[in-house]
């Protein structure tokens, strides 16, 4: 029997739920549905999906409540769908534990691209490949060496920590607050200028064109995303 990738949709609007389900089923994913938080948590626990597509505005609560509960027992990726385009809503959902965010209306192509990106993150890395590679960059985490085109890249300790933190979570949106907390500690979550300065310097050293990055991508008003293979 074919072992298909399982995806759970939690969405109360039947037309959107049907649109998402058909888009996913056309790509041969096995799809399960729920119309609210409570049912969604039951489906997540029993079906054990590899990914969740979640609406924020649900009849029995805010989708962020689902994320908070889910994150106490599972790390499966969550893509949020919402009509809320406010940056604070996006940041709040991502800080709660969501992995990506799509604002309605969206196309099937964009949805499927995000789904594939999140599923790639779940694939275990080869045990025989200790290096992190993208484009012409190679990171050796054991020796803490970064090379570009075979030549050493001299990074500051902060730049190295930012790079390895971002590359350890490909295709995931990292908020400014998450990055600040991870690199500088919980006392610096409002010091966004720290991130901007170091990210600009890191891009100059890593990207082909620091002013037009293809790997360390800005998510406007929210944070950053590392993309190993640009579209």
Query: Residue 12 belongs to a domain with what CATH number?
Result: 3.40.50.2300
Look at residue 132 and tell me whether its pLDDT is greater than 60.
yes
Domain shared by 150 and 109, yes or no: no
Residue 1's pLDDT band, with cuts at 50, 70 and 90, is low
Residue whose C-alpha is closest to residue 10's, from 70, 80, 68: 80
Reduce the DSSP state of residue 49 to 3 states and report it.
Answer: coil
Domain shared by 52 and 145, yes or no: no
Domain shared by 150 and 68, yes or no: no
Domain shared by 147 and 212, yes or no: yes
Look at residue 83 and tell me whether its pLDDT is greater than 90.
no
Q: Is 168 within a domain?
A: yes
Structural domain count, the chain? 2
Mean per-residue pLDDT, 84-109: 85
Query: How high is the mean pLDDT of the chain?
Result: 89
User: Domain range for residue 141?
Assistant: 132-226
Domain shared by 104 and 163, yes or no: no
- CATH of residue 183's domain is 1.10.10.10
**5-23: b or e for each residue (b if 16 or more CB lie within 10 Å)?**
bebbbbbebeebbebbbeb
Q: What is the spatial order of strands in the sheet that 216-219 belongs to?
A: 173-175, 223-226, 216-219
Contact in structure between 5 and 119 (CB atoms under 8 Å): yes
State the maximum Cα–Cα separation within the chain, in Å, rounded to a whole number: 56
Mean per-residue pLDDT, 68-73: 91
Domain shared by 112 and 140, yes or no: no
Domain shared by 113 and 27, yes or no: yes
Contact in structure between 115 and 26 (CB atoms under 8 Å): no
Tell me the per-residue pLDDT of 159-185, one tens digit each, with 9 for 90 and over: 999 999 999 889 999 999 899 888 887
Domain shared by 163 and 72, yes or no: no
Domain shared by 32 and 99, yes or no: yes
Residue 72 backbone dihedrals phi, psi, to 5 degrees: -75, -15
- Verdict on whether the full-model pTM lies above 0.75: no
Q: Is 127 within a domain?
A: no
Look at residue 78 and tell me whether its pLDDT is greater than 90.
yes
Q: Is 72 within a domain?
A: yes
**CA 192, CA 199: separation in Å to the nearest integer?**
11
* The last residue of a domain, from among 122, 154, 175: 122
Contact in structure between 223 and 173 (CB atoms under 8 Å): yes
Domain shared by 40 and 21, yes or no: yes
């Amino acid at each position: 029997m074919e072992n298909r990738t399982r995806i759970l949709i939690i969405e109360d609007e039947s037309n959107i739920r049907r649109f998402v389900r058909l888009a996913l089923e056309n790509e041969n994913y096995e799809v399960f549905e729920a119309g609210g938080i409570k049912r969604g948590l039951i489906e997540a626990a029993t079906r054990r999906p590899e990914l969740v597509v979640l609406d924020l505005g649900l009849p029995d609560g805010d989708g962020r409540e689902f994320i908070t509960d889910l994150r106490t027992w599972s790390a499966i990726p969550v893509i949020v769908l919402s009509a809320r385009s406010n940056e604070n809503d996006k940041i709040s959902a991502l800080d709660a534990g969501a992995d990506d965010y799509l604002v309605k209306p969206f196309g099937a192509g964009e949805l499927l691209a995000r789904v594939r990106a999140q599923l790639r993150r779940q694939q275990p890395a080869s045990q025989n490949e200790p290096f992190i590679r993208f484009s012409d960059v190679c990171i050796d985490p054991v020796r803490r060496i970064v090379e570009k085109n075979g030549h050493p890249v001299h990074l500051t300790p902060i730049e190295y920590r930012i790079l390895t933190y971002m590359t350890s979570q490909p295709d995931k949106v990292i908020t400014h607050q998450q990055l600040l907390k991870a690199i500088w500690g919980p006392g610096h979550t409002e010091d966004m200028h720290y991130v901007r300065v170091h990210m600009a310097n890191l891009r100059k050293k890593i990207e082909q064109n620091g002013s037009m990055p293809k790997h360390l991508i800005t998510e406007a008003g929210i944070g950053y995303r590392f993309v190993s293979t640009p579209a």
